[in-house]
Amino acid sequence: MNTKLFSFSFEKPIFSGFSGSARFLAGMEGVQDLGNILLNSLEDSKNVAGIQYNPDQEEYWNIIRKKIKTFTDAELYFLIWSPKIRDKKIRKLISNEQSQRR
Amino acid sequence: MRFQLHKKIYHFIWSIWKKKSLVVNGYCISYCELPWMLLIGSKGSKSWFQNGMCITYIPDQTIMIFISSKENPSTISYTIYHEYIEGLCSLKQREVEVSSLFLQAMESLKEYDSNIGGQFMKSVEKKEDKTQQSCHCIALAIELALAKSEMDSDKFRAYLENALLERL
C-alpha cells in the first residue's frame, strides 16, 4: 500500500468524517484535484482508500488497521488537519501497521 | 468562564423567549429575535451583517439562532439559513448532507464566478481560525446557491458581489 499524506494547518477538522472533508476539498480551488481523488475513494474502488486523523474517534486505529488489511494494493490518502499532529509520527505509526500485515 | 456564562444565559433565553420559525429551502428553522443590545458583546459564534447581527449557539446538538431585531427583513431568510447551515457543520450526523450541499452549491455558483473557490480558499488562508472560516465559506456558498435559485439574474449578481466583497 502506497501512503500519501496531506496535512493542513487547521485548528481541527471542519468535518469529523473523511467523506465530508473530501467534498469540502473538491469544492475549493487549489485542492480540487485532491478532493476529487478523495471523492472517488468513497466509491467501491479498491485502488484508492482514504482516512483522516481524528483523535476524537475512539475506533480510529481499528479503522486504519481495517483499511490497511482490506485495501492491500490501494493508495491510502491520509488527511491531517491539526497542526499539532506531526507527519513523521503518523507515517511511523502507519508504517508499523503495514509491516505487521506483511 | 465568560463564554460558559454567555452560553448559560443564551440557553436560558432560548428556553423562555418566544421563538419564531421560518421555512427556508425545506428546513424549518427556529430562531429568537432579540433587541440588539442583548446580543452585543457576546462571545458566541458571531456574524455581523449590514443591518443587524446574528449569533448562533449549538449546545446539546440544538442550533440556537438569535438575531437582532434590526436585521433587514428582505434578507432575513438568507441570514437565518446561513447561520443554520454553519451550525449543521458542527453536527456529525449532518456532515454528509452539508458537504453534499456545499459541493452542489459550488458547481452552481461557478456559472457566475469561475474563481469563487479560489476566493474562498484565500479567505480561509488569511484567517487565524481556519476551521471557523471554512464553515462560514461552506454556509455562504449554500446561501448564495439558494439566492441564485430565487433571485433574478441582476439582483443575484449584486448580492453575490456584495457577499464576496463584504463577508469574506
Q: Percent of chain A scored above 90 by pLDDT?
A: 9
Direct distance between the N- and C-terminal alpha carbons of chain B, in angstroms, rounded to an integer: 29
Distance (Å) from the alpha carbon of A57 to chain B's nearest alpha carbon: 11
Cα–Cα nearest to B94, from B21, B27, B32, B149:
B27
Distance (Å) from the alpha carbon of B165 to chain A's nearest alpha carbon: 18
Beta pairing, strands A2-7 & B64-68 = unpaired
Q: Is B130 exposed, middle or buried (0-12, 13-18, 19+ CB in 10 A)?
A: buried
Which member of B98, B115, B135 has the closest CB to residue A29?
Answer: B115
- Whether the CB of B92 is below 8 Å from some CB of chain A: the reply is yes
- Whether the CB of A55 is below 8 Å from some CB of chain B: the reply is no
Q: pLDDT for A77-92, tens place per residue?
A: 888 887 666 666 667 7
CB contact under 8 A, B102 and A30: no
Q: Provide the β-strand partners of residue B23.
A: B28
| Residue reference for cell 421563538 | B19
Task: Write out chain B residues lying below 8 Å of A19, CB-based.
Answer: 95-96, 99
- Whether the CB of A17 is below 8 Å from some CB of chain B: the reply is yes
Q: For residue A12, give the chain B residue with the closest CA.
A: B131
The DSSP element (H or E) to which B117 belongs, if any, is helix B116-126
Q: Which domain holds residue A58?
A: 2-101
Per-residue pLDDT band for B41 (boundaries 50, 70, 90) equals low
Residue B152, pLDDT > 70, answer yes
Q: C-alpha grid cell for residue B16?
A: 423562555
In the three-class reduction of DSSP (H, G, I as helix; E, B as strand; rest coil), residue B48 is classed as strand
Distance (Å) from the alpha carbon of B37 to chain A's nearest alpha carbon: 31
- Whether the CB of B139 is below 8 Å from some CB of chain A: the reply is no
User: Could you give the number of structural domains in chain A?
Assistant: 1
As a whole number, mean pLDDT of residues A35-41 equals 85
CB contact under 8 A, A13 and B105: no
- Whether the CB of B59 is below 8 Å from some CB of chain A: the reply is no
Task: Write out chain B residues lying below 8 Å of A21, CB-based.
Answer: 99
CB contact under 8 A, B118 and A81: no
Neighbours of A77 (CB within 10 A): 22
Residue B47, pLDDT > 60, answer no
DSSP letter string over A41-74?
HTTT-SSEEEEE--TT-TTHHHHHHHHHHH-TTS
Residue B151, pLDDT > 60, answer yes
Distance (Å) from the alpha carbon of B92 to chain A's nearest alpha carbon: 7
As a whole number, mean pLDDT of residues A27-49 equals 81
Per-residue pLDDT band for A56 (boundaries 50, 70, 90) equals low
Q: pLDDT for B108-139, tens place per residue?
A: 999 888 889 999 999 999 998 899 899 999 99
Q: Is B57 exposed, middle or buried (0-12, 13-18, 19+ CB in 10 A)?
A: buried
Q: Percent of chain B scored above 70 by pLDDT?
A: 89
Residue B42, pLDDT > 60, answer no
Pairwise CA distance, residues A42 & B118, whole Å: 24
As a whole number, mean pLDDT of residues B143-154 equals 96
Provide the mean pLDDT of chain B.
86
Which of residues A25 and A59 earns the better pLDDT score? Answer: A25
DSSP letter string over B123-166?
HHHH-S-HHHHHHHHHHHHHHHHHHHHHS-HHHHHHHHHHHHHH
Cα–Cα nearest to B45, from B104, B85, B13, B16:
B85
CB contact under 8 A, B130 and A8: yes
CB contact under 8 A, A19 and B95: yes
Pairwise CA distance, residues B68 & A79, whole Å: 39
Q: What is the pLDDT of residue B4?
A: 56
As a whole number, mean pLDDT of residues B72-87 equals 90
Computed on alpha carbons and rounded to an integer, the radius of gyration of chain A in Å comes to 13
Q: C-alpha grid cell for residue A79?
A: 488527511
